[in-house]
Amino acid sequence: MPELPEVESVRRTLAPAMVGRRIDAVELRRPDLRAPFPKGFARRLAGQTVVALTRRAKYLLASLSSGDTLLMHLGMSGAFRVIGTAGRGPGEAAAGSDPHDHVLFHLDSGATVVFNDPRRFGVMDLLTPGELEEHPSVGGLGPEPLSDEFDDTALARACAGKRTSLKAALLDQRVVAGLGNIYVVEALHLAGLAPHRRASTIATPGGAPRDAASRLTAAIKQVLGKAIDRQTAANDRSDRFRVYDREGQRCLRRGCSGIIRRRTQAGRSSFYCPVCQR
């Protein structure tokens, strides 16, 4: 499933094509994705201008001139492509040519934004301002990990008194929004903290940040930032991870002799170095 860096890369790709453009028509090739499209979905979108395209956790939010917000989630296999105004480039599929092209946004520029989703776990919803604030997917989210709001103080406060593992706390979307399994284990390795360590240990009894909270906050921002840059540069090398999916291999931390281990936490694989992660 796409994680935050992949979703942010999609946002950066779509924004130049969509922001400031009017949606002339929406073509639905089926009545649903993971759930049925809202009543009047295509009709309500037609004629609206995309004012902004932002991201909240792993959701894309297109703010419309009507005041409504188009909420989109890629699911497990969803992907967008933009068919430009100057015709298709070499190897570029025509809009709607793939049987998994389920939603087509026809823009006033002549471009078409196509949503393709073979497994149909994606989500599209159209929300009024009041509905957006209370939507179960985004209403209770914690701070964005790349925002100024997310710092060692905020993380320590959220983890203070928690008896759960540090990894489980970071995957709790109320603690920090948008982090997934891969980048949590990567950040924990960079910070030198074990995924099974108790979350409360990064804070004092009063909820102030310890050094571990500062290291972890910085590591999360660094890992996500590099991953977004890598996605933007279309550089998807298999050696991009420090620990994820590297069970049995040498730790990449300079001077560390550890061998990466894997353990299961809440049904998910955690990869870590038993030597340098404490």
Which pLDDT tens digit goes with each residue over 174-208?
999 999 999 999 999 999 999 999 999 999 999 99
Q: Do 218 and 110 share a domain, yes or no?
A: no
- Alpha-carbon distance 76 to 130, whole Å? 28
Strands 50-56 and 59-64: antiparallel
Q: Percent of the chain, pLDDT > 90? A: 86
Report the run of H or E that residue 48 belongs to, with start and end: none
Cβ–Cβ < 8 Å for 182, 5: no
Report how far apart the first and last C-alpha atoms of the chain are (Å, whole number).
29
- Which of 134, 168, 196 delimits the end of a domain? 134
**Structural domains in the chain (count):** 2
Domain range for 24 is 4-134
Q: How do residues 160-169 score in pLDDT, each as one tens digit? A: 999 999 999 9
Contact indicator for 260, 251 with CB cutoff of 8 Å: yes
The reply to whether 278 falls in a domain is no
Closest CA to 2 of 78, 55, 68, 69: 78
What is the reported pTM? 0.91
Complete DSSP assignment for 181-211: HHHHHHHHHHHT--TTSBGGGGB-TTS-B-H
Question: What are the catalytic residues?
Answer: 2-3, 58, 268
Same domain, 69 and 162: no
CA angle 234, 236, 242 (to 5 degrees): 135
* pLDDT at 172 > cutoff 90: yes
